[in-house]
Structure 1
Amino acid sequence: MDSIAKKLVHFCTQKPKIVYVVLLLLTLGFMAQIPRIQIDTDPENMLDAEHPARVFHNQVKTTFAMYDAIVVGVVDSSDPNGVFTQSSLTDISVITESIMSIDGVVSADLMSISTVDNISQTSTGTIRFEWMMPSPPASTAEALKIQENLARLPLLQDTLASQNGKAAAIYVPILDKNESYNIAEKIRSEISQLNGTADWYITGLPVAEDQFGFEMFIQMGISAPLAGLTIFILLFLFFRNIPLIIAPMIVAMATVLITMGALIGLGFTVHIMSSMIAIFLMPIAVVDSVHILSEFSDRYKPGKSLNDTIEEVVGHLFTPMLYTSVTSSVGFYSLMLTPIPPVQIFGAFVGSGILLAFIITIVFMPAYLSRMNETSLNKLQEVMHSQQGGSKIASFAKSLGSFALNNRFVLVASFAVVFAVSIWGINQIQINDNPVRWFKQNHEIRVADKVLNENFAGTYDAYIVLSTSDTLPPVSDIIFNDLPESLLPWAKERVTAFGDQAPSEQYQQLIIDSEDKLFADVSEEEDAYLSGLITILEKNLSSSKTFQSPEQLAYISSLQTHMQESGLVGKSNSLADVTKVVNRELRSGSAEDYQIPNSSQAVAQTLLQYQSSHRPNDLWHFVTPDFQQTLVWLQLTSGDNQDMTKVIDLVDNYVADNPLPQNIELGWAGKAYINVVWQDNMVAGMLDSLISAFVIVFIMMVILFRSLVFGVLAMLPLTITITFIYGLIGIIGKDYDMPIAVLSALTLGLSVDFAIHFLERARETYKQTQSISDTFSIMFDEPATAITRNALVIALGFTPLLFAPLVPYITVGVFLASIMAISALVTLLILPSVMTMAKKIVFK
């Protein structure tokens, strides 16, 4: 230990009260920030705000007035008529009215059987729009008539009503997705007052994400204290000395509170990843303390100077503890290389928390131990040197040593086979995530998702956006062409008045202004000019309305048919469907006229008719007013990334075989698509961060040991553990999701932790004994016992997560416990085996 560290430890043992006061003030200061906590579970925030996919997604939502929606479903499988009964339809009407009165609901866009139009024909060429259900039906016959009317409208069938008639849905658009949990709770309250026999469900990505945030907040308050309690119990079993084990618990609590306080105080929201910071740091923060306590209990003898023993122990452990802390933090800091902001924040604060834990340990543990009374120290000696306390762990560690040294060839061969199989398993990994799967299978959100997606075309949204690159020439290029001098002031005034209006709006306004001018007293020259100008403007405006073209709509319809036939898309709605329905009713009302009109003028007529409905603004969900952008709304029965990726590939292949019309571009938006984008970014980013961190840690190991051989040995447990864990994930078919991806950082940091302690102590011991057998005999005494204790503390420290109601927490708990157990076993089995087999190289 260098002179600065010696002086620091000496100061702490001489002035412990100063250490206590400073640590207390720091902890209280950062704790004061915690009440300012803000929860964020929006997967969109996995992408940077400036990411092109996210920017485009938000532009599409604004352009087409698309809102995040809660899906409310009602299912009645017991009645022969399903939900098309007086009772169920009355309940739907009542609930719809209640929902529309809730603050935060976009009532004008709410879709329910009682808020949409029935489109029908009164006579040839005449169309009628009337409410589908203006009031609840007075008889079963009326209820069945509503079902019949819905079945005739492809825009609504399988969206608002299932084909089997057993289910109906209400789509509740909301202004702020962060209010979805509160709105869902109000809807649940209204539903609870109904007396019907039908079952009601609430799902949708916004409510799933927001509900996860609510439950995550509760989980944070449960898991971290439970982890602390578990660690406390473990330490008591190890040392049987409550005053002694209070010290590492203080280190852990101070580390967690300061780190979380800093996170919140700096204005960062608590995302699903950062919510796990406390549970990650709690076990990791006590690791160095356990090493100190283990060696202190082994070295301290009655009558020996307490402070000298403390300084000797910390001095002996300072270098390996420093390097294990730095390498562990590097593993987490590597996450900052990913392009996912919440993962970057998680990595930064866990990495900083680990370094903070090291500093607090080095400062607080000497101060605390120096204040222990003689009674506690004597009791510690009795426990540690009797058949209590750590004797069973010590016996287990020694047995591992015997097994490793007696079966080294078998072990090395076995690990080689496991490594090879793991590499194959890694190639089987499937990248997939879905916020709804963050809940257990019996959770109401998960149950609702399953039931409603079995009955409807899908509750997951994705949007295909087609845009034209054709642009209208500026008005100024047209208005001043062959302009009579007498109209020059009028023309300049018109151009100036347009300002920043959209080109199509400028054209429309100029047509109106030109027609008004014609009604004034104008000369023949001015009359001819204005009439020609109006003709040119109307021609340009008509040709610019790309998606009024039957050819363009036919392409969209063909793409929709292809997607529907694939079975990957539950349903799609587009401008083409609107024109088909209205065209059918304008003509014969029969199926043969369910087709796109054969001219742009006829398409325009159908859309004009559609706008005379009770919901005229629905048209602008499918097309922009200038008809230069159109949207195809896809309903998917699965929110899994794998399924959305298949849809994207399907569309890409279709476009490759059937090229888009000239000057048309295709883009994607919607929550299901955004999830795919951030997952792809995460996987690529995690791979980059893992490789970078691996290289950095390897270089650090070579520098630490000043030996390439020992650097390679230190990386062995890490390499085997990472490949085994991720190979196992691929073999058992577990989806590679966000929590699994982040675990690579922990695996990298902590797997090398055990190896550093083992190798550093082995090398020092060999220098003293100059005997390989004696070295490993000593190594499988206190050092191996300390490693085993630490592995147990960290592994079991995460076990409270196994009882969480949220799947990501369970995943983290299971795999972290596995990682700790495997990395400790690999360290204690493979390192002595390889070191003895290659003793001529290792022990020069």
Structure 2
Amino acid sequence: MNQVKAWLSHVATTYPRRVYLLIIALTLIAASQIPKLTIDTDPENMLPASHPVRVFDAMTKARFALYDSIVIGAINESENGVFNPVSLAQMDAITRQILTLDGVVAADLMALSTVDNISQQGAGTIHFDYMMRSAPTDQAGSDQIRRALQRLPLLNNTLVSADGKAAAIYVPLKDKSLSFEVAQQIRAIIADQQPQDDYHLTGLPVAENQFGHEMFVQMAVAAPLAGLMIFLLMWYFFRSIPLVIAPMLVAMATVIITMGTLIGLGYTVHIMSSMIAIFLMPIAVVDSIHIMSEFADNYQPGDKVKTVITKVVNDLFTPMLFTSITSAVGFVSLMLTPIPPVQVFGAFVGGGILLALLLTLLILPAYLVRMSPSALSAMQSRLKRRPSQLAGALGWLSTQTVHRSKGIAIVSALLLGLSWWGISQIRVNDNPIRWFKSDHPLRIADSALNHHFAGTYDGYLVLTSIPSSAPHELTQATIKQLKAPLSATVMLAAQGDNEALDRLLMTLEDASFDSGSDALLPLIAQWETFAERQRRFLSPALLSWMEALQQHLDRTGLVGKSNSLVDVTKTVNRDLHSGTDDDLALPTSAQGVAQALLQYQSSHRPQDLWHFVTSDYRHGLIWLQLTSGDNQHMSQVMDEVSAYLTQHPLPAGIDIDWAGKAYINVAWQQAMVSGMGESLISAFVVVLVMMVLLFRSPLYGVLAMLPLTLTISLIYGLIGWLGKDYDMPIAVLSALTLGLSVDFAIHFLERFREQLKQLGDVRLALSAMFEEPARAISRNAIVIALGFTPLLLSPLVPYVTVGVLLASIMAISAVTTLLLLPASLWLLRSVIHPSGINAPEALQGESK
């Protein structure tokens, strides 16, 4: 270790130009990779592609031909709402233009102009016609469309609001990655129409891709602004622009090399990795401030810079090394989480921290030895000319930590207890729409449309029938009739395989025709009966069970509305009979259900049926519309379904599972919480062991963990007290809390032990600690806490959260280090330095 330290100091101070050239070359190579950047803000990617939840969701979308959609809503608060000739004509024109856009699944677009009106044409005859073949020219025509919509369960409160004030357009996308581009085109179309109604766009795909666009802007704006603020604050403390350029070079090189490497290795920039630059910026200057602080205090005009900086690096190398390693451990522990973007974030921040240490040890000495003596002398004169308010405050704090040590310990214990109560109140919740501030157009749109409609968020309850087996006698009889070549098909058909059943029936019918005999007809009838039993979603009993579940969910208030095959069947059945709501009910036989669905397939949108049931009638889906994308809301719905199933078990032979974006959010949130908890505990234990090894003392190891423990507890206790949701940015900040909190403690305790060796008394050592070491810690905390205030101006809530919590972490960890550690050291003075009790009388008197 000493050899490495000496070698780095020698290289940096002897060959500064070569150091510059090497680092510039590495930075330029990394920077050349940045144009290859690709952004990914899809929450689904918080789970691995092979995760069962994602696999089932993808299978469900493919099976039921479901697409991610942009939701457009038009709102008119006048007496007739949107049902007036002008509003409907404008909506019709907008719809027709949207249908021409690339990336839109035109056949599945839902709008007044594209959906069918279902009505009775006569007894036993049903009529399908476009709801709005062309926009009406008078109010009577508008009212007629409104009445037609309100009698269709699938469309009422989905395509048109119950109060008639709003109407919607659902724009399905071929690929959700196109949502930002398509949304921009839709906004342009709406703007050209200059509609009299208020138009809003929302939907999770729009929110996710809009966030990606604005995230890219924030990466280019927030990080440089934070860097500028840090630069100005360091200039305020050190009064030398040339001096503070060095740590900024370290920070810039660290960020560029780390991000360039990430992009060059082919990783996409997720919401997590977009924050790497923001996390590394403060961490990269922490060691620089310690070095600059001690250098500024030790350098005197006429001193040989190389000698002074070598001594400073020698004194600080061990604490800097251990703080960097412990900070890196905090982030690398995130690789234990089962969330790929978090793993990438943890790995690259951890690597960036170690890179920052290396660059600090190379750039700062190389930079300082090339500074002119006049610039260094000017720095010293400015620092000495102006008395430091910080020094005065720290001097006062030095006495208070000793005189009020017991009070500080008691208050800390009380705060710890209150924090744990706050932590118990934390609610895990996330929602991509809430990644934007409340005044953002997407948040306004989300609020407006979910106020008028049943909900713009989707959850899918998927029901799957378990194939039954054919009687053994039937299987054997069929094999005997058809001989061996078809025995494999027969066996598959006997297990309920749909394709095998179709092949078998065709083979039996062909064989019967070829033989000219009726001998096979009983066998064919038995297989047809068996095949019909597999078509479970034609069963009135199963549909009745689904209807009861839907009605229960509608009554809970958790679900805005539910839609399923039940609603299609009931609507068609009504108009096949009286056309009145007396017949808005399920048929009493499977044949009746089949007849209703066959009628529906003669509409202009027969494909809509397959969004609720598969063509073999073995898989069904209940589409739940939710007014909130919060995973807490979805979790309540899931709990309600589980409770219902306890009281009303699933029909025999039916499985049930969840799909949809709202459910995926719940799944990755659960994985994040458990993963973050495991990584934090693991990192805490590793850091504790490292502290014991560093100080070669269990006592000092535990003392080093005090600020860390109190800071983490206070931060997360505060989150619980304030009712702030525990979301993705907050979860990841636990790693930063661990790293930076222990950073200050290591520097304080390592320097304290050095002072104790030199002075031989705990009180004098503590007094010395509130000179340069405490100033360095305070400067670090102030620079980083205030340096990230530009993040508070971001329109993106995760960036604001990071800014607030970074400032809080730095402030709390610095205060706990400068209060709790000296108070604890004083209370444990007889254990830490037993010989101190025999100090001279004068010394004892001073320490009382």
TM-score by length of 1: 0.96
Which of 454, 457, 477 pairs up with 1:460? Answer: 457
| 1:303 Cα deviation after fit | 2.7
Deviation at 1:479, TM superposition (A): 8.8
Contact preservation (8 Å) 1:332, 1:746: yes
**Alignment check: 8 A CA contact 1:337 1:685 kept:** yes
CA distance in 2, matches of 1:106, 1:144: 29
- Matched residues, percent identical? 56
Q: Is the 8 A contact 1:475 1:507 kept in 2?
A: no
Partner of 1:825: 815
Match of 1:528 among 519, 540, 544: 519
Match of 1:814 in 2: 804
Q: Are residue 429 (structure 1) and residue 419 (structure 2) matched?
A: no
Compared with structure 1, are the counterparts of its residues 314 and 725 closer, same or farther at alpha carbon in structure 2 (3 Å cutoff)? same
**Relative to 1, partners in 2 of residues 1:303 and 1:688: Cα closer, same or farther, differing over 3 Å?**
same
Tell me the residue number matched to 1:411.
408
Rounded Cα–Cα distance in structure 1 between residues aligned with 2:330 and 2:581: 63
CA distance in structure 2 between the partners assigned to 1:163 and 1:479 by the alignment: 58
Aligned counterpart for 2:771 among listed residues 778, 781, 796 = 781
> In the alignment, which residue of structure 1 is the partner of 2:724?
734
Indicate which of 545, 548, 554 corresponds to 1:558: 548
Name the counterpart of 2:93: 94
Q: Report the AA paired with residue 36 of structure 1.
A: K
**Equivalent pair of 1:86/1:137 in contact (CA under 8 Å):** yes
Partner residue in 1 for 2:840: none
Q: Which moved more, 1:339-348 or 1:511-520?
A: 511-520
SS of the residue corresponding to residue 270 of structure 2 reads coil
Q: Give the match for residue 210 of structure 2.
A: 211
Q: What corresponds to 2:845 in structure 1?
A: none
Shift of 1:383: 2.2
Taking the aligned partners of 1:214 and 1:8, their CA distance within structure 2 comes to 42
**Cα drift, residue 138 of structure 1:** 1.9
1:148-167 matches, within 5 Å, as: 148-167=147-166
- Judge conservation of contact 2:455–2:628 (CA < 8 Å) in 1: yes
Shift, 1:125, TM fit: 1.1
Matched, 1:396 2:387: no
Cα shift at 1:506: 3.5
Output aligned runs, 1:571-610, within 5 Å: 571-610=561-600
1:507 equivalent in alignment to 2:480? no
Instruction: Name the SS for the 1:218 alignment partner.
Output: helix
Cα-to-partner distance string for 1:713-760 (whole Å, 9 max, x where unaligned): 100001111111111110111111111111111101100100000000
Report if the CA contact (8 A) 2:479-2:486 is conserved.
no
1:511 to partner: Cα distance: 3.2
1:474 Cα offset (Å): 12
Letter of the structure 1 residue corresponding to residue 377 of structure 2: N
Aligned residues: 833
How far apart in 2 are the matches of 1:539 and 1:493? 20
**5+ long unaligned stretches in structure 1:** none
CA distance in 1 between counterparts of 2:295 and 2:145 reads 81
Contact 2:113/2:132 (<8 A) preserved:
yes
**Residue equivalent to 1:110:** 109
**Corresponding residue for 1:2?**
2
Alignment partner of 1:654 out of 641, 644, 648: 644
Structure 1 partner of 2:236: 237
**Alpha-carbon contact 1:117-1:129 (below 8 Å) kept:** yes
Question: Structure 1 pair 482/375, CA: closer, same or farther in 2 (3 Å)?
Answer: closer
SS of aligned partner of 2:437: coil
Partner of 2:120, secondary structure, is strand
The one-letter amino acid of 2:442's match is: I
Contact map agreement 1:472 1:504 (CA 8 A) in 2? no
Provide the residue aligned with 1:177 in structure 2.
176
Q: Which SS does the other structure have where 2:39 is aligned?
A: coil
Structure 1 position 267 matched with structure 2 position 266: yes
Q: Which amino acid aligns with 1:797?
A: G
- 1:610-625 aligned at under 5 Å gives the runs 610-625=600-615
Once the two structures are TM-superposed, the CA of residue 281 in structure 1 deviates from its matched residue by 0.6
With over 3 angstroms needed to count, the CA separation of the structure-2 counterparts of 1:325 and 1:494, relative to structure 1, is closer
- Cα distance between partner residues in 2 of 1:217 and 1:196: 32
C-alpha distance in 2, partners of 1:21/1:198? 61
- Tell me the secondary structure at the aligned position of residue 192 of structure 1: helix
Paired residue type of 2:585? Q
Deviation at 1:514, TM superposition (A): 4.1
SS at match of 2:163: coil
The 2-side partners of 1:88 and 1:474 are apart by 61
2:622 is aligned to 632
Letter of the 2:68 counterpart: D
Distance 1:332 1:776 in 2: 32
TM-superposed CA distance for 1:472, in Å, is: 5.8
Q: Distance in 1 between matches of 2:833 and 2:66?
A: 69
Closer/same/farther in 2, CA of residues 56 and 482 from structure 1, 3 Å limit: closer
Query: d(CA) in 1 for partners of 2:242 and 2:292?
Result: 12
Distance 2:535 2:604 in 1: 24
CA distance in 1, matches of 2:224, 2:401: 37
What are the Cα deviations for residues 29-86 of structure 1, in whole angstroms up to 9, with x where unaligned?
Answer: 1111100000000000011111111111111011101000100000000x21100111
Change (3 A) 1:493 1:822: closer
Residue pairs, 1:178-577, within 5 angstroms: 178-387=177-386, 391-471=388-468, 478=475, 481=478, 483-484=480-481, 492=486, 503-520=497-514, 522-524=515-517, 527-529=518-520, 531-577=521-567
CA distance 1:715–1:476, shift in 2 (3 Å): farther
Q: Distance in 1 between matches of 2:180 and 2:66?
A: 19
- What does residue range 758-797 of structure 1 map to in structure 2 within 5 Å? 758-797=748-787
CA-CA distance at 1:197 after TM superposition: 1.5
Kindly provide the CA deviation profile for residues 301-358 of structure 1, in whole angstroms up to 9, marking residues without a partner as x: 2232221111111000000000000111111111111111111111111111011000
Change (3 A) 1:476 1:87: farther
Contact 1:494–1:510 (CA under 8 A) maintained in structure 2: no
Q: Go from structure 1 to structure 2 and tell me whether the alpha carbon gap of 1:318 and 1:607 turns closer, same or farther (over 3 Å shift).
A: same
Distance in 1 (CA, whole Å) between partners of 2:171 and 2:523 is 46
Aligned partners of 2:391 and 2:771 also within 8 Å: yes
Contact (CA 8 Å) 1:472, 1:541: kept in 2 or not?
A: no
| Distance (Å, rounded) in 2 between the aligned partners of 1:336 and 1:440 | 30
Which is worse superposed, 5-14 or 754-763? 5-14
Separation (CA, whole Å) in 2 of partners of 1:492 and 1:832? 86
Determine helix, strand or coil for the equivalent of 1:734.
Answer: coil
Among candidates 652, 661, 668, match of residue 678 of structure 1: 668
Distance 1:173 1:474 in 2: 44
Amino acid at match of 2:63: T
Task: Flag structure 2 segments of 5+ consecutive residues without an equivalent.
Answer: 835-848
Q: Is 1:479–1:533's contact at 8 Å kept on the other side of the alignment?
A: no
CA contact (8 A) 1:472 1:544 kept: no
- Residue 519 of structure 1: CA displacement? 4.4
| Mapping for residues 690-729 of structure 1, pairs under 5 Å | 690-729=680-719
CA shift at 1:507, angstroms?
2.5
Q: Rate the CA distance shift 1:661–1:494 in 2: closer, same or farther, 3 A.
A: closer
Distance 2:426 2:39 in 1: 31
Residue 269 of structure 2 aligns to a residue whose secondary structure is coil
Q: Distance in 2 between matches of 1:131 and 1:474?
A: 48
Between 1:582-591 and 1:744-753, the stretch displaced more is 582-591
**1:120-139 aligned within 5 A:** 120-139=119-138
Supply the distance in 2 between the matched residues of 1:15 and 1:231 (Cα, whole angstroms): 28
Return the alpha-carbon distance in structure 1 between the equivalents of residues 560 and 545 of structure 2.
Answer: 19
Aligned mate of 2:830, from 834, 840, 843: 840
SS in 2 for 1:12: helix
Query: Structure 1's 757 and 514: CA in aligned 2 closer, same or farther, altered over 3 A?
Result: same
- Could you tell me how far 1:628 is from its partner in structure 2? 1.2
Going from structure 1 to structure 2, the CA distance change for 1:488 and 1:421 (only over 3 Å counts) comes to closer
CA RMSD of superposed structures (Å): 2.0
Task: Say which SS state the counterpart of residue 519 (structure 2) adopts.
Answer: helix
Distance in 2, matches of 1:476 and 1:808, equals 65
Closer, same or farther in 2 for the Cα pair 1:475/1:312, shift >3 Å? farther
Distance 2:92 2:694 in 1: 72
